[in-house]
Each structure stands twice: as structure tokens, then as C-alpha cells.
Chains A and B, each alone.
Chain A
């Protein structure tokens, strides 16, 4: 099961743009590894910008999906897996 979040979050990323940790629920969460990475242009005809999604594994084997909005240059927590 997963929970849809879609909230902007603070992210610390490496020089090549890979997220290392993110701030959620009042604390920084360390990212152990990136499991998957994909890009989605969404509804470009309505002005939506490209998003780069990261499915990441954090400490305690918890799974999250983050995305970077290329236009806003902002990170969002997209989904949390139970």
C-alpha cells in the first residue's frame, strides 16, 4: 500500500542531482539508495513541466517517491510506501 502525499519538501542532493536526504515530518531522512529513476513530462500541452521521479529506500527499508519539478526547481514528496 502507498500513500499519496504531493507536498514540497527540502532535499539535499549530490552534485549530479541525486537526492541524498529529505526533510519530512520535522526531521531529515537519509536516503540509502535510489531504486528507480524515471521522468514524466505530464500534461505538457497544459503547461506542465517535466518531473524526475526517484523511488528511494531510506533507513529501515522504508520506501518513498520524490520528484524534482524541472520548471519550479523544487522537490516534492510524491508517495510513501507502507
Chain B
């Protein structure tokens, strides 16, 4: 076998027992750092052996290959007796066996407690090398316990499983007490049994300094604090990636053990095969039909249905797409997705394709998407092209209530062993890192909670920045060297994985049994997930299918059903896309409840943009995103759209790319095209950029790409400053930008929901209230908006309310489900009892329905029984002691007959109870109670705002809704929130100076009712307030 030569010298040592952060709280050195160190040490290979998982294997493989060293895929197993054993894959067969072993270890044992049976190793022993493990290895543990004979027996057992040449006794350099004598005994055992030794360092971090971080992570893992003693805590920081010279010195007595590391590395070949075709063939083909032929037939049949006649343009486009799909070998994948969509249609499950698939006319004709890509001029190459040859990614939103029905269909059709949900890694962000590490460092729990709640959603290495910038953070009250040390530790764990969870919708379907290709394990709710996330499964060659849950789909379906009860001709799919009254409504910024267009920024945009067609809505959807906002492109876009500002380009090469969007970077595809045009990125580099943008994998990775971009742009003759400015736009896009096709798909739904609100407000608002939580606003704000639109809100009623909000003429009846604490089973028993006839009295209800007292109290207090008995307090009195203890009530209840005359609750008391129990102000808004006093003090309402002059100083008051701080290009903070009063919302902008003074009021929970003094600003058809002073509204109604 060839000797590995690195930098002209024979290699001397390879680390074969290494843990990354994917050992989940038992690894503190990034994979990047460890590979870099191995490379700098001239090591020709590196093994990764995380605990019971291969999560990092793909990432590690790619980085190692890129760095020019050999990746060795391995794992440290926890055996059925709790001992550890290291396995390394020699080849693809060994890798598959690792996957099979890990799958069984996870799925045959309780969740989070994987155990491998020794017997399983006998079944899956091929292509693997075993190392005897750390002190938790069975052999070292027995030797430490003085049971040498048993240690030999186990060694013989493992030798018999893997063969003499594939089993090595590990000697470690961990500088723990007894280490020298343990190594002596292990070497003696190896010699006695004719086995070889191997030197390892059980690496858990790259550098010794990272020991502290590892120790803290161990505390997090073991739920202990630093001052606590725990056997999992390491005594010293010796488990770092030691240099060859350090290892040679430490193992000077065992030179063969060191040399054997290189021999083992030579025995292993990179075991992972990336980019294989792993999705299955479509099996339901008509006899004699090929997949390509059938796809073609379906596409053209669908085109006839969609377009009614096939023009040359349509035919040419479909032929072009089909040619690329088939050349890239994705005809089966399209048929598979078509089959899933067909299942949903057949079962009347509402869905809509999203994402870049909307660039495809074939997808449109197969009823996968609802965007006419030909009509809209969308380019198929943005979805699939021969040059990029990237895997297509089709995402479909389903009515959230039936999403699992669709996935069940897939599991049944392709077999549970070939279908799995993709995992996602929950990583340390600012809040989680702060909470976990502060607890381990024994900071007072109250301080931890108080500060953690104030932390915005940022990376864990950005907390110091947040402390400087956000006023509520400045008031955190902790500023000590220890606190600063904590923040440094938070930064060190930023982005480290904490645990595996389930991806929101990603499913893979495999041609082969999945456990041959990826380890599977159980995530929460019993869902079987891959150990690879969506990026890594794509690298392996799977094509992910995203089955997403979208409550908007449920709301659309619910509203469509109730609308058809009064308007039989209503057809959601046939909603005209040029309805003038809908655009008029949009142009007024009256978009609360409209999918994707309801945030304050969107409402403001709509009132200024004067949208006149779908193209404007597509732009709107893409425009109010952190990218364009940070790039300060919203205002230029509007001005350029209206022709009041010339369209300019930072560089002539940008013109053909950005012409359609008036020189503004709106869509992800444009970013890719810019990277190619300005910096000459290859398709591979552009794809890397796309992945970082799409997956928000790492902001550090984005910085590295930025450096490449600027360097390559300079080589391309682009001035450095211009290249930097252009890349700053790209950075803003990371994970936030929409692709045009996706924006078009969302815009279609946005417009149609706007249409429903304009023409059927009661139906649509009832539907979105029934499908909460969804959208930007809570139910009460939706009620305010519904009222503003002339819809009356009716109280919950025991005989009239349903399980969902219902429509009664132009009124909405509050549902019984809205009552706090009323669970599904209670709801079902009420509705079942009511099917036999209305309840005629409160006593009648109690005779017919058995319900917990606390729920009954809630129902009384929010007025559910008002139509049967108006005095709520009297009804409370009627509840017996038996009900207090939730004991079955007597069938002969007649308690209300003999009730004493008790005065009912006051109007205000009823108001408070109703809001507390329903989350809704039924009859009037809280601000109504303060209105006369507010008027006396010169406060105006949201309804009066339109009458005010531009620039006038005004006073407003209300309940603050959704304060937020979107990123800005300058780094200065601008906060936005809405004040809700009885007539609607008032949007308030808080610029940096005012924010620094009053920001803590907005971002410290609970946020109280506020008064704002500020300047009225008119923009387009909308009005907003620039805040100058913000204060609590400390008035009692």
C-alpha cells in the first residue's frame, strides 16, 4: 500500500479519534479549525468520530477534500453496555454499515439514548476498522477496574468481529491519572493477543484554549454549574488536536502506535460518495410508457387545460424545459411531485407551489405551481440549467391541517424505509447561548432571564454589539469582567449545534433503503429524520421535496367554502387578476389580513407604490425584505417606478441584470447573475453563494465569499469600492432574499387574499381568525380591522357559536374554541349535545354536557351563556362544590332556579374578563374607555389622522403592536411599531436618537399602552408618525 506523502515528507501521524461540535455539546472546536490545524501540521488525513452520529460527515468530507487532506468517516458508538467503541469506514461499504448500525442504535432504543448491540456489529462488520476507544471503551474500562482477563476476552470478541487487521488497541495521551499504567497494560494486551496499537488523543477541540468552552458545554450537557463536580467534566485541557511533534514526544515509548495512525489512514478511502442519483424512479407509468414520455404527455395535456390552445411560444418553452429536465435526469422527480400534487387535488387539499419551481412552465402545466411563468416572462434557467446542473428544489405549501395527510401518502406509496423527514440542527444563537452558558457560570437566574428576554434574534457572537446599540440592553445592569467573559464564551459557541430537530417540511424519497445511505433517528413527536440536514442530503444526491404547512391555505379554503354558501359562482382559482377595486384597496395601504402585504412596511409601501398589476405585487413581496431595506432601495424603487428619479447602475455590467427592477437588486437570481458578471464567479462558486444565501449557514462563510468576490471583481477591472458596495447588497440578502419565481408565487396568493378581503371581508376575516396563529397580527387587531371594514363582531353564544368563527350576514360570530382552556374534546361534546337540540337553559346545558369547572367558569365569564341567563355572576354562584372538584354532576341540576338575587358584574369587569378569556374586545376597544380623557388632553384617533396636515405635531395613544427593528444599511437603528386604537392602527417610526431615549419602553416586555408625540408624515396615500417622545399611558379608565 502506498505511503502517504505530505509536503515531500512521509507523514508521521493522523488524528483518528476526533469530535466536532456535532458531538452535541461534547465538541468545542469547529470542523474548519480542526482541518486547518491538521493541514498546517502536515497531516495527510483526519478522521471525524462524533458520538453516535454522522451529522457532520458530509460537511467534513467537503472541507477536507477542499483542503487537500483525506477525510476519514467514522463514529464513536455507545454500546449496549454503555461502553464506547470507535469505528472508521474504510470504503463505501463500511460507510453504509455505519449508517445501518447507527440507524438501528437510534431506532431500537429510546429517543436520545442510542445504544449499539454487540451482535449488530457481527452483521455489519465489513469495510470497517475498530479502535478500542477512550477510557469509556470496554477494554480500557475493564483494565482500569483490574479485570484484565475480561478485557482480553472482549478484545478477542472484537477481533473476531472485525478481523485482526481491522482492530486496533487505542493508546491515548490524555494526561489523566493512571494514564501511563493504562497505556502500558493496553500495549501489553495488544502484544499478547497479536493486535496492533494506535495512538489517539480523543480530540474534542482544536486548541488547548478551547478547553474552557468545552468544559462549559459539558456543564450545559450535564445540567451542572462550573462549581459542581460531575464525572463527565474533564480534568484538563489535553484533548486538543495535538501536533505531530507533541504526539511523537508523548508516545515516545510507543512509536508503532503513532506510525499505525498513518497506516490506518492509508487503509481508508474517502467513504462518502456525493452527487449520486438517489431519488426513485416513477413506478406508475402506463404500460409501454417511459418517464420522459409520460412527463411530456402530462405537460402538454396540462398546457391545453391551462392555456386552452398551444401557441408556438408555449410549445417551444415546454419542449425546451422538458429537454433540460430529461437531460439532467429529473423526469422521474417531476412525475413524483406531480403525483403528490395530484393526490392533494384529488382529496381537495388546498396547496400552492412556491420557490424557484414557479419559473417552470412544466410545473405550472402539471398543476404543481400557480404561476404562469411564460406569461410572466420568468426564465426557466433560473430554476434548472445544464450549466449549473443543480438539483431542482420544489416547495409546496399545503393547508396546514392536511399536510400530514399528504406526507402519509408518500410514506405509504414509497415505503417507510425509503422516506424520511430531513433534520435541522438547532444551533446556538444569542439567546440560547446566553441562557445556557450563564446558567453554567452560575449567574443569578433572574438576571439571566431578564437579559435573555431582551436579546434580539442575533448570532451569539453579536451580543457585545447589541449591548452597545440597543437601549434596553444598555440597561441590562450587568457589566463586569465575568460578564464580558461570558459574552466571549457565547461568541465561541456561536452557530454550534445544540440538538437535532425536524425540518419544517423537507422530505426525501430514496431509490434504496435509506439506512444504507444516511443514518436515521427519531426526532420529537416520533418523526424519523435523517442525520443530515437539507443541504447535506442534497450533497449526497437526494432531491428534497418541501411539503410545507401554510395556515393561509386553510383560511383560503375555509373562506371559499363559506363564500360559496352565499355566492355559488365563487371560484378562488378563477379570481380575476385585474380587479380594480382590489388594487384601489391595496393603493390605500388597507392590507391588514392580506397574505404577505400586511406589515407596517408593506402597508406603507402599498400606499405609495400605486400598484396597478401583478408585477407590482411581485416587486412588493420582494422589496420589503431585509436585503432591499438594508440596501436603502425601497425609496429609489418607488421613485424610479413612478419615473421621478432616473434609473442608475453602480456598474454598466449591472444594467442588463437590474433593468427590469429599475436598477434595484430585488431577487436572488439577480445576486447570482451579479456575482457572475462582476466577479466572474464560476457556476460552482455562484452555487456556493446561493447556498450560503439560502441556508444562512454561516455569516463567517459569507465573509469568506465576500473576500473572494472583491478580489475577483478587482481582477475583473471593477474598482474595489464599487465591488464592496455591490457585495454589501449581496450580504444583505443572506437568507432573506426571495427569488423572483417565489415572489411571484406569493404575490398571486397575496393578491387573491386581498380580493377576498375586498369583496368578502366577513368571510375572510372569520377564516383567518379561525386559523390563528398566522400572519402579522393577533385576533384582536384583526377584529379592529374587521370592524373598521363594517363587519360586526358577535359574542360567543352557546347555541349559535361553532368550533370556528362563523359568518352571519355581515357579522362574525366568535367561536367557542376561542374560549381559553376549552379543549377539543370538550368542544366536541358540546357540539354533539347541541345536535340533539339547542340548550334551553344553563341547567339544561349542565345536564347534557359534562365539563370542567374552570372551563365552565371561563365560558360564563366571557358571556357564552348570556342568551340563556344574562346574569354572569349569578351563574357562577350556581356552580356547586361538586363541580369545584370536577366530580360528575347530578342529572337533576336545577341550581339556577333558586339563586339569590346577586348583582351582575359591571360593564368594565365584563370587558376585562372577555379580553382575558377570549383575547378579544367584543363590544368596544380598550382605548374607548380612555377616549374622553384623551380628547381633553388633545390626543387624536387613528381615524382623525387623515384630516391632519403634513408636518403637524400631534399626540396619539394606543396599544403598541409588533415593535421591530429591521436592519439598516447605516447600522443606525430605526424602530417601527403600530399603535392600535378603537379605529385602527397608526404606524409610528422611531429614529435612532429617539429610539436611544425611549427604545427600552418598546422592547421590554410586557409593553404597556403608550402615548406618542410626533410629527405627522404623509407618504403617498398613507399617514404615519415620526415619534419625538414616547411615554407610558399611566391612566386608569
Q: Which residues of A contact B (CB under 8 A)?
A: 16, 34-41, 43-45, 50, 52-53
Q: Which of A37, A39, A50 has the most CB of B within 10 A?
A: A39
Given the known inter-chain contacts A45-B226, A45-B441, please indicate yes or no for A40 contacting B212, CB distance below 8 A: no
CB distance from B229 to the nearest CB of A (A): 11
CB distance from B494 to the nearest CB of A (A): 20
Tell whether, in the assembled complex, residue A38 and residue B176 are in contact, meaning their CB atoms are under 8 Å apart. yes
Tell whether, in the assembled complex, residue A39 and residue B238 are in contact, meaning their CB atoms are under 8 Å apart. yes
B237 CB–A CB distance under 8 Å? yes
B179 CB–A CB distance under 8 Å? yes
Tell whether, in the assembled complex, residue A37 and residue B227 are in contact, meaning their CB atoms are under 8 Å apart. no
B453 CB–A CB distance under 8 Å? no
Tell whether, in the assembled complex, residue A38 and residue B215 are in contact, meaning their CB atoms are under 8 Å apart. no
26 A-B pairs with CB atoms under 8 Å apart are A16-B249, A35-B180, A36-B177, A36-B179, A36-B180, A36-B181, A37-B175, A37-B179, A38-B176, A38-B177, A39-B175, A39-B235, A40-B235, A40-B236, A41-B211, A41-B235, A41-B237, A43-B226, A44-B211, A44-B215, A45-B212, A45-B226, A45-B227, A45-B441, A50-B236, A53-B177
Chain A residue with minimal CB distance to B182? A36
B178 CB–A CB distance under 8 Å? yes
Tell whether, in the assembled complex, residue A41 and residue B178 are in contact, meaning their CB atoms are under 8 Å apart. no
CB distance from B567 to the nearest CB of A (A): 70
Please indicate the chain A residues that have their CB under 8 angstroms from the CB of B249 in the complex: 16
Tell whether, in the assembled complex, residue A39 and residue B180 are in contact, meaning their CB atoms are under 8 Å apart. no
CB distance from A66 to the nearest CB of B (A): 14
Tell whether, in the assembled complex, residue A44 and residue B175 are in contact, meaning their CB atoms are under 8 Å apart. no
CB distance from A2 to the nearest CB of B (A): 14
In the A-B complex, the 9 residue pairs with the closest CB atoms? A39-B236, A39-B175, A38-B177, A45-B226, A41-B236, A38-B175, A40-B235, A36-B180, A38-B176
Please indicate the chain B residues that have their CB under 8 angstroms from the CB of A53 in the complex: 177
**10 more CB-based (< 8 A) A-B contacts, given A34-B180, A44-B212:** A16-B249, A35-B181, A38-B179, A39-B235, A39-B238, A40-B235, A43-B227, A45-B227, A50-B236, A52-B175
Q: Which residues of B contact A (CB under 8 A)?
A: 175-181, 211-212, 215, 226-227, 235-238, 249, 441
Please indicate the chain B residues that have their CB under 8 angstroms from the CB of A38 in the complex: 175-179, 235-236
Please indicate the chain A residues that have their CB under 8 angstroms from the CB of B236 in the complex: 38-41, 50
Please indicate the chain B residues that have their CB under 8 angstroms from the CB of A50 in the complex: 236-237
Q: Which of B179, B180, B227, B236 has the most CB of A within 10 A?
A: B236
Please indicate the chain B residues that have their CB under 8 angstroms from the CB of A40 in the complex: 235-236
Please indicate the chain A residues that have their CB under 8 angstroms from the CB of B211 in the complex: 41, 44
A48 to B238, CA, bound (A): 16
Q: Which of A16, A45, A52 has the most CB of B within 10 A?
A: A45
Please indicate the chain B residues that have their CB under 8 angstroms from the CB of A45 in the complex: 212, 226-227, 441
A64 to B988, CA, bound (A): 74
A39 to B180, CA, bound (A): 12
A41 to B239, CA, bound (A): 12
Please indicate the chain A residues that have their CB under 8 angstroms from the CB of B235 in the complex: 38-41
A53 to B227, CA, bound (A): 22
Chain B residue with minimal CB distance to A37? B180
A41 to B211, CA, bound (A): 10
CB distance from A3 to the nearest CB of B (A): 18
Please indicate the chain B residues that have their CB under 8 angstroms from the CB of A41 in the complex: 211, 235-237
A53 to B176, CA, bound (A): 10
A34 to B253, CA, bound (A): 14
Chain A residue with minimal CB distance to B211? A41
CB distance from B187 to the nearest CB of A (A): 16
Q: Which of A34, A35, A38 has the most CB of B within 10 A?
A: A38
CB distance from B246 to the nearest CB of A (A): 12
Please indicate the chain A residues that have their CB under 8 angstroms from the CB of B175 in the complex: 37-39, 52
A38 to B179, CA, bound (A): 8
CB distance from B993 to the nearest CB of A (A): 40
CB distance from B184 to the nearest CB of A (A): 11
A43 to B441, CA, bound (A): 12
A39 to B238, CA, bound (A): 8
CB distance from B719 to the nearest CB of A (A): 49
A52 to B178, CA, bound (A): 13
Chain B residue with minimal CB distance to A41? B236
Please indicate the chain B residues that have their CB under 8 angstroms from the CB of A35 in the complex: 180-181
Please indicate the chain A residues that have their CB under 8 angstroms from the CB of B178 in the complex: 36, 38
A82 to B393, CA, bound (A): 73
CB distance from A57 to the nearest CB of B (A): 13
A39 to B236, CA, bound (A): 6
CB distance from B720 to the nearest CB of A (A): 44
CB distance from A40 to the nearest CB of B (A): 5
Please indicate the chain A residues that have their CB under 8 angstroms from the CB of B227 in the complex: 43, 45
CB distance from B488 to the nearest CB of A (A): 13
Chain B residue with minimal CB distance to A52? B175
A35 to B180, CA, bound (A): 8
Please indicate the chain B residues that have their CB under 8 angstroms from the CB of A43 in the complex: 226-227
CB distance from A64 to the nearest CB of B (A): 15
CB distance from B579 to the nearest CB of A (A): 66
Please indicate the chain A residues that have their CB under 8 angstroms from the CB of B212 in the complex: 44-45
A16 to B250, CA, bound (A): 11
CB distance from A67 to the nearest CB of B (A): 12
Please indicate the chain A residues that have their CB under 8 angstroms from the CB of B176 in the complex: 38
A16 to B212, CA, bound (A): 26
CB distance from A4 to the nearest CB of B (A): 16
Please indicate the chain A residues that have their CB under 8 angstroms from the CB of B180 in the complex: 34-37
Chain B residue with minimal CB distance to A65? B177
A37 to B173, CA, bound (A): 11
A58 to B254, CA, bound (A): 26
Please indicate the chain A residues that have their CB under 8 angstroms from the CB of B226 in the complex: 43, 45
CB distance from B186 to the nearest CB of A (A): 15
Please indicate the chain B residues that have their CB under 8 angstroms from the CB of A36 in the complex: 177-181
Chain B residue with minimal CB distance to A38? B177
A36 to B918, CA, bound (A): 70
Chain A residue with minimal CB distance to B235? A40
Q: Which of A16, A37, A40, A41 has the most CB of B within 10 A?
A: A41
CB distance from A9 to the nearest CB of B (A): 21
Please indicate the chain A residues that have their CB under 8 angstroms from the CB of B177 in the complex: 36, 38, 53
A16 to B249, CA, bound (A): 10
Q: Which of B175, B179, B212, B237 has the most CB of A within 10 A?
A: B175
CB distance from A62 to the nearest CB of B (A): 19
A4 to B377, CA, bound (A): 84
A41 to B226, CA, bound (A): 13
Please indicate the chain B residues that have their CB under 8 angstroms from the CB of A44 in the complex: 211-212, 215
Please indicate the chain A residues that have their CB under 8 angstroms from the CB of B441 in the complex: 45
Chain A residue with minimal CB distance to B238? A39
A68 to B178, CA, bound (A): 18
Please indicate the chain A residues that have their CB under 8 angstroms from the CB of B181 in the complex: 35-36
Chain B residue with minimal CB distance to A16? B249
CB distance from A63 to the nearest CB of B (A): 14
A7 to B833, CA, bound (A): 84
CB distance from B295 to the nearest CB of A (A): 63
Please indicate the chain B residues that have their CB under 8 angstroms from the CB of A52 in the complex: 175
CB distance from A60 to the nearest CB of B (A): 21
A41 to B212, CA, bound (A): 10
A36 to B212, CA, bound (A): 25
A53 to B236, CA, bound (A): 12
A41 to B178, CA, bound (A): 17
A39 to B234, CA, bound (A): 10
A35 to B179, CA, bound (A): 10
Chain A residue with minimal CB distance to B181? A36
CB distance from B646 to the nearest CB of A (A): 61
Please indicate the chain A residues that have their CB under 8 angstroms from the CB of B215 in the complex: 44
CB distance from A45 to the nearest CB of B (A): 5
Chain A residue with minimal CB distance to B178? A36
CB distance from A20 to the nearest CB of B (A): 18
Chain A residue with minimal CB distance to B234? A41
A16 to B245, CA, bound (A): 14
CB distance from B265 to the nearest CB of A (A): 28
A14 to B281, CA, bound (A): 70
Chain B residue with minimal CB distance to A40? B235
Please indicate the chain B residues that have their CB under 8 angstroms from the CB of A34 in the complex: 180
